[in-house]
Structure 1
Amino acid sequence: MISPTDVTGVILAGGRGRRMGGQDKGWLMLDGRPLVEHALLRLAPQVGGLVVSANRHLERYRGLGVPIVTDPLPDYPGPLAGALGAMRLVATPWMLLAPVDMPWLPLETCERLARARDEADIAVAHDGERLQPLVALIRTSLRDDLAAWLADGGGKVVHWYARHRWCEIDFSDLGPRFANLNTPQDHVRAESGARGGKGDES
């Protein structure tokens, strides 16, 4: 098994938020707190340390008291650029990616991915309906390969995963916990309690 102290949680908050009207989703409010705080609360019990990948409102993110990394490549090249920035910072052999807009991420995500990965270097959650490529346990020694792949123009997350030993891990029993807030309509439904079982600690 992988110890939680061997894992750094990486919250991906560096996107453009195009489907949310260009808003920085980390600072959208839900149930009295911003989404980035929800993400920190979900990840903190699972890992040995935390990092937030962000590209806007950096001083505000720094006020959270955790390390902040920015994309090492220009023009918002995608979530794997944020992952690479974190890989270059962290000292742990593993990192757990999680998007900032998934406020009900299961508290056993890291443990289940680690337990079920077998010999894979990347373990990715599947919610029973679809793969969740940004909920993934990744070996940080892959940083050089990721840097080279991005420099060559690679972008799609699952295409990079396919270069390595990777596996899907079944979370179908917790599928609703992977609901994320991509659009203003998602946000409204979440605020009305229609999307995520608020108060469920699983």
Structure 2
Amino acid sequence: MSIVAGLLLAGGQARRMGGADKGLLTLGGRPLAAWGLTRLQNQVGEVLISANRNHADYEKLGVRVIRDSVSGYAGPLAGLFAGLQEASSDWLLSAPCDSPLLAYDYAERMQEAASSGQWDAVVAHDGRRLQPVFLLVSRRLQQSLGDFLAKGGRKIDLWLEEVSHQRVDFSDHPDMFLNVNTPEELEEMEARVMGDSR
């Protein structure tokens, strides 16, 4: 398998956070996005951040920041599509900016599942359900994804039904899927990451 690029998805509107840009909220003295970014950088080659606002602030994290090529905050699929258009690798591994506890073997396990060559996408599963923003996708799917978005499609799991994909069980890493959607969850995550760093 060729080198994989990483994509940190930070393009949402964060309605439950009062519209605050979640990736730039402070967690343990760093922007929330920096936590997932660091873990991705340790596992893949190039990493991009998909963001639709505050580009200059995200650029301070030291990686290339891209915008959705589909207008109107079309969701994580639009960020994924922009990533496939911009990344230099044949495979793109995505993660949301508000999930700072990515498994240290996230990329390795996803690539292993894709290495057979029979799948164009690999999606993480928490043991109970798919976690579709945790996705490894081949550049071969760029046209399929573009067509899906052009027809108004927005849900990753519905798009995955149209493409060959494999699930990877991460039930042994449940913390990986913890995310921050409310101020209360940010406080809980702060306690968790500061406890882990002691």
TM-score band, normalised by shorter chain: over 0.9
Q: Which residue of 2 is the match for residue 179 of structure 1?
A: 178
Task: Determine if contact 2:123/2:130 at 8 Å carries over to the other structure.
Answer: yes
Task: Determine if contact 2:81/2:146 at 8 Å carries over to the other structure.
Answer: yes
Task: Determine if contact 1:70/1:85 at 8 Å carries over to the other structure.
Answer: yes
**Cα shift readout 1:51-81 (whole Å, capped 9, x = no counterpart):** 0000111111122221111011111011100
Whole-Å separation in 2 of the counterparts to 1:54 and 1:182: 17
Partner secondary structure for residue 196 of structure 2: coil
Task: Please say if 1:125 is aligned against 2:124.
Answer: yes
Whole-Å separation in 1 of the counterparts to 2:176 and 2:64: 26
Task: Please say if 1:56 is aligned against 2:53.
Answer: yes
The equivalent position to 2:99 in structure 1, one of 80, 90, 102, is 102
Partner secondary structure for residue 140 of structure 2: helix
Q: Which residue of 2 is the match for residue 141 of structure 1?
A: 140
Q: Which residue of 1 is the match for residue 158 of structure 2?
A: 159
Q: Give the length in aligned residue pairs.
A: 196
Q: State the shift of 1:146 in Å.
A: 0.9
* Pair 111,197 (structure 1): closer, same or farther in 2 beyond 3 Å: farther
The equivalent position to 1:76 in structure 2, one of 70, 73, 77, is 73
TM-score normalised per structure 2:
0.93
Whole-Å separation in 2 of the counterparts to 1:66 and 1:25: 18
* Pair 184,42 (structure 1): closer, same or farther in 2 beyond 3 Å: same
* Matched AA of 1:188: E
Whole-Å separation in 2 of the counterparts to 1:181 and 1:196: 15
Unaligned runs of 5+ in 2: none
Q: State the shift of 1:178 in Å.
A: 1.9
Task: Determine if contact 2:91/2:137 at 8 Å carries over to the other structure.
Answer: yes
Q: Which residue of 1 is the match for residue 196 of structure 2?
A: 198
The share of aligned pairs that are identical, in percent, is 42
Task: Please say if 1:67 is aligned against 2:64.
Answer: yes
TM-score normalised per structure 1:
0.91
* Matched AA of 1:74: S
Q: Which residue of 2 is the match for residue 85 of structure 1?
A: 82
Q: State the shift of 1:19 in Å.
A: 1.3
Task: Determine if contact 1:104/1:198 at 8 Å carries over to the other structure.
Answer: no
Q: State the shift of 1:86 in Å.
A: 1.0
Whole-Å separation in 2 of the counterparts to 1:142 and 1:106: 25
**Cα shift readout 1:96-116 (whole Å, capped 9, x = no counterpart):** 000000000101001001112
Whole-Å separation in 2 of the counterparts to 1:34 and 1:54: 14
* Matched AA of 2:45: G
**Cα shift readout 1:20-61 (whole Å, capped 9, x = no counterpart):** 111101111111111111111110011011000001111111
